[in-house]
Amino acid sequence: MEKIGVGLIGTGFMGKAHALAWNSVRPVFGDVPDVRLVHLGEANEELAQSKAAEFGFKKASGDWKRVIADPEVDVVSITTPNKFHLEMARAALAAGKHVWCEKPMAPKLAEAEEMLAAARASGKAAVLGYNYIQNPAIRHIRKLLDEGVIGTVNHVRIEMDEDFLADPEAPFQQRHEAINGWGALDDFGVHPLSLLHTLFGRVAKVMCDMAKPYPTRKTPDGEREVEVFDIATILLRLENGASGYIAVSRTAWGRKGRIAIQIFGARGSILYDQEKMNEFQLYLTADNPTEQGFRTVLSAPHHKPYDRFIPAAGHNLGFNDLKVIEFRQLIARMQGEPSVSIGFEEGILIERTIAAMARSFQQSKWTEVA
């Protein structure tokens, strides 16, 4: 590949993040083809034109199908609401485009399975937007785990908490409808799972609880029952037998982007928190006994590919930089090279695990992940 033509559908939170990342991937990494922002699709022509100008796309359409049909487009970024993912991804793959689709795959497992089938049929790269796994700190943690630095891992805990639904006085909104899934479980749960999959592999079985902190919400006319669960807690076992849990909440006042990971092994422990994404903590029994302690390791150029952004340690990457790394990995995948990424093949495992969690909750019992 000498150049990569990019199509982008959607320009919200993630759409803008994609635009910024596509824009930066070449100047940051250098070793990639010429990336061209070709065609931007939005809900209507006017918005599409305005956003294309802002983000630097050459063409704009009020119909996403025109983006997919554009022969200059090699890869399509899909950042629309989840319910559109299947239709768009299938069309893009059928049109011979690589696909980059924001997580999760689709509201229903069956749809996600269809997406996987479409990806397999196309032979194109089909990747999901799990950006947290791209953090150099997380990558380095994986390296340490692979090298056995903390020995065999026997216990893992992940909490993911934010507070954007924590206000009980805030009115009923779309997010509170069951049509969007289970709530925190699928909205947040996929992120801890993406990290578990990246660091350890499959989850074997789960026992899930969910809770509704605020069972009703105000509407203009009165109040309405909240149909989703803003808190989920899941006991689990990894395939290697290690125990652990995932806890997720969208009503945790004060937590803004917390993804706190605790990993305990036979010879040490590792801690990480996404709110402090430029560091991790490491405890090693190999250290001198009277000076053992969790050391706070700041991200630095030797934690690849931090060096592509900044040549000095401790200077901080940002959330948007993770997307740039993600696209570098996507390009690797498009080029048939090894990559750290969650393609539809891996993503379906996450979706199936979520489905098993939901069944576990409904049946109130431990459930094997298919």
Residues in 227-246 that interact with a copy of itself by CB under 8 A: 231, 233, 235, 242-245
Q: Which residues pair with 233 in a beta bridge?
A: 209, 247
Does 45 sit near a copy of itself (CB under 8 A)? Answer: no
- Whose Cβ is closer to a copy of itself: residue 31's or residue 337's? 31
Q: For the sheet containing 243-249, what is the strand order?
A: 279-284, 268-273, 258-265, 153-161, 243-249, 231-238, 203-211, 367-368
Instruction: Tell how strand 367-368 and strand 203-211 pair up.
Output: antiparallel
Nearer to a copy of itself, 84 or 366 (CB): 366
Please say which residue, 43 or 313, places its beta carbon nearer to a copy of itself.
313
Q: Which of residues 169-228 bind a copy of itself (CB under 8 A)?
A: 207, 209, 211, 213-214
- The interface mask with a copy of itself, positions 241-280, x = CB under 8 A, is -xxxx-x-x-xxxxxxxx---x-xxxxxx-----xxxxx-
Of residues 11, 321, 291, 312, the one with CA closest to residue 138: 321
Looking at beta carbons only, is 326 or 351 nearer to a copy of itself? Answer: 326
Residue of 59, 85, 303, 328 that binds a copy of itself (CB under 8 A): 303
Alpha carbons 268 and 318: distance in angstroms, whole number: 28
Q: Which segment (80-88, 114-122, 289-297, 350-358) binds a copy of itself by CB under 8 A?
A: 289-297
At its nearest, how many Å lie between a copy of itself and the CB of residue 31? 9
The piece of 17-25, 80-88, 93-101, 327-335 that touches a copy of itself (CB under 8 A) is: 17-25
User: Rounded to an integer, what distance in angstroms lies between the CA atom of residue 9 and that of residue 61?
Assistant: 9
Please say which residue, 118 or 238, places its beta carbon nearer to a copy of itself: 238
Interacting stretch for a copy of itself, rule CB under 8 A, among 59-67, 78-86, 218-226, 284-292? 284-292
Among 13, 201, 239, 368, binds a copy of itself (CB under 8 A): 13
C-alpha to C-alpha distance for 323 and 83, rounded to whole angstroms: 22
Site residues (CB under 8 A) for a copy of itself, limited to 312-331: 312-321
Would you call 365 helix, strand, or coil by DSSP? coil
Considering only residues 98-157, where is the footprint of a copy of itself by CB under 8 A?
140, 144, 149-151, 154-155, 157
CA dihedral over 194, 200, 201, 205, signed as positive or negative: negative
With CB under 8 A as the contact rule, the residue among 58, 65, 224, 283 that binds a copy of itself is 283
Among 39, 55, 76, 349, binds a copy of itself (CB under 8 A): 55
Q: Single out the residue of 44, 296, 335, 362 in contact with a copy of itself (rule: CB under 8 A).
A: 296
Which residue, 64 or 309, has its beta carbon nearer to a copy of itself? 309
Which one, of 345, 355, 303, 342, lies nearest residue 143 by Cα? Answer: 303
Q: What are phi and psi of 346, to 5 degrees?
A: -80, -35
Site membership for a copy of itself, residue 94 (CB under 8 A): no
First-to-last alpha carbon distance for the chain, in angstroms, is 38
Nearest to 250 by CA among 187, 195, 208, 169: 187
Q: Which is nearer to a copy of itself, 84 or 245 (CB)?
A: 245
Which backbone phi and psi does 347 adopt, to 5 degrees?
-60, -35
**CA distances to 10, 103, 128, 285 from 81, in Å:** 9, 10, 14, 47
Q: Is the dihedral of CA 108, 111, 115, 120 positive or negative?
A: positive
- Which residue number, 108 or 262, has a Cβ lying nearer to a copy of itself? 262
SS3 185: helix
Please identify which residue in 40, 228, 300, 349 interacts with a copy of itself, judged by CB under 8 A: 300
Residue that is written with structure tokens 């706190």 in the block: 260
Candidate segments 74-82, 194-202, 337-345, 358-366, binder of a copy of itself by CB under 8 A = 358-366
**CB of 78 closer than 8 Å to CB of 99:** yes
Q: Decide: residue 13, CB within 10 A, 0-12 exposed, 13-18 middle, 19+ buried.
A: exposed
4, 6, 9, 19: which one contacts a copy of itself (CB under 8 A)?
A: 19
